[in-house]
Amino acid sequence: MKIAVCVKRVPDSETRIRVAADGRSMEPSGVKFVLNPYDEFAVEEALQRKGDEGEVVVVSLGDDAVQETIRTALAMGADRGVLLKTDGVPPDPLVTARLLAAELEGGDYDLILFGKLAIDDYHHGVGLMVAELLGLPCVSSIVHLDLSNGKGVAEREIEGGVEVVEFSLPAVLTADKGLNEPRYPALRGIMMAKKKPLEVKAANAESGGMEIVEMTLPPERQGGRIVGEGPDAVPSLIDALRNEAKVL
């Protein structure tokens, strides 16, 4: 199978976010960037599914630093990479989706995989948008996948249940945690990744219809209090919840 995986470079989940001097973006200095955790599931799934004759192409949109993220996916085992080079990632997910769709269109992919969301912007949108722009079947946030003879069945978690969805290939899928266990790049993989092809294409991101006017840190929670120690604290806890917080 020929499979494309779209991946994004994001701040590590441990990052303590600081607001940059412009007041509307994250201060990037000192931040460690990683392959978006959900995209790891997508890369892993592609590697498991591609088969002997297959190919896994990693596509990412962003600035030059994104090459490192693409190399991470190549080190996991993907075959080649494409960087759609822009000055940064636009705030409007449709702009990103359009550029990715234009790159993927005509690529003859059996599967196009995404993470369910990027842990920076949290749009939960780009994969589904690309599917719609390309007119392909799409199942989002999948935790289980069966594929055979050009047909697929995927499962996605919904509130209090699991939806079972049938589709045929080519298709777009977005990966949730639970789909698989992503591998760590081995040393050999890291060495080989350096030699794998990575094509850089200039892309022109329009401004789109969204503008971040301010980024702030959420207010610190007002310091709470320890109501007591051990089981004897329970009556005071209940009293506080009933009469002070009024949530019981």
Partner 1 sequence: MADILVVLEQRDGMLKRVAHEALAAARSLVDAQGGEVHGLVVGPPGVATDGLGDAGADKVFVVAADDLQLYQADPYARIVAERAATGAYDTVLLSATAMGKDLGPRLAARLRCPLATDVTAVAVDGDLVVTRPVYAGKAVCQVKITQRPCVISVRPNVFAPVQSGRAATLETVDVESGEVRAKTVRVKEPEKATLDVAEASIVVSGGRGLKGPENFHLIEELAEMLGGAPGASRAVVDAGWRPHAEQVGQTGKTVSPTLYVAVGISGAIQHLAGMRTSKVIVAINRDKDAPIFKVADYGVVGDLFEVVPRLIDELKKLRGN
Ligand X SMILES: Cc1cc2nc3c(=O)[nH]c(=O)nc-3n(C[C@H](O)[C@H](O)[C@H](O)COP(=O)(O)OP(=O)(O)OC[C@H]3O[C@@H](n4cnc5c(N)ncnc54)[C@H](O)[C@@H]3O)c2cc1C
H/E element, 93 = helix 93-104
Using CB under 8 A as the binding rule, whether residue 102 contacts partner 1 is answered as no
**Among the listed residues 79, 80, 110, 119, the single contact to partner 1 using CB under 8 A:** 119
**Among the listed residues 24, 26, 37, 133, the single contact to ligand X using CB under 6 A:** 37
Output 209 or 223, the one with its CB closest to ligand AMP.
209
- CB count within 10 Å of CB 167 equals 17
Which residues are 142's β-sheet partners? 156, 175
Instruction: Report yes or no: 176 and 142 within 8 Å, Cβ to Cβ.
Output: yes
Any long-range contacts for 24-27 (C-beta under 8 Å, 24+ apart)? 24/212, 24/213, 24/214, 24/215, 25/212, 25/215, 26/120, 26/215
Using CB under 6 A as the binding rule, whether residue 38 contacts ligand AMP is answered as yes
Residue list 127-156, contact with partner 1 (CB under 8 A): 127-133, 136-141, 143, 155-156
Of 52-60, 71-79, 184-192, 239-247, the window that binds partner 1 (rule: CB under 8 A) is 239-247
Q: What number of CA atoms fall less than 13 Å from residue 66's CA on the CB side?
A: 26
Output 191 or 234, the one with its CB closest to partner 1.
234
Kindly calculate the radius of gyration of the chain based on its CA atoms and give it in whole angstroms.
21
Q: Give the x-and-dash track for 178-217 against partner 1 (CB under 8 A).
A: x-----------------------------xxxxxxxxxx
Q: How many residues bind ligand AMP (CB under 6 A)?
A: 24
Using CB under 8 A as the binding rule, whether residue 165 contacts partner 1 is answered as yes
**Residue indicated by tokens 């976010």:** 17
Of 42-50, 52-60, 93-101, 197-205, the window that binds partner 1 (rule: CB under 8 A) is 93-101
Q: Which two tokens stand for residue 237?
A: 């806890």
Q: From the CB of 29, what's the least distance to ligand AMP, in Å?
A: 21
Dist CA 55 CA 226 (whole Å): 57
**Exposure of 11 by Cβ count < 10 A (0-12 exposed, 13-18 middle, 19+ buried)?**
middle
Asked, as a colleague might, if the bond just before 170 is cis with ω within 30 of 0, I would say yes
Using CB under 8 A as the binding rule, whether residue 11 contacts partner 1 is answered as yes
| Total residues found in the chain within this entry | 248
| Binding partner of residue 30 among ligand X, partner 1, ligand AMP, none, CB cut-off 5 to 8 Å per kind | none
Using CB under 8 A as the binding rule, whether residue 230 contacts partner 1 is answered as yes
- Write out the residues near ligand AMP by the rule CB under 6 A: 6-8, 36, 38-39, 60-62, 89, 93, 96, 100, 114-115, 117-118, 121-127
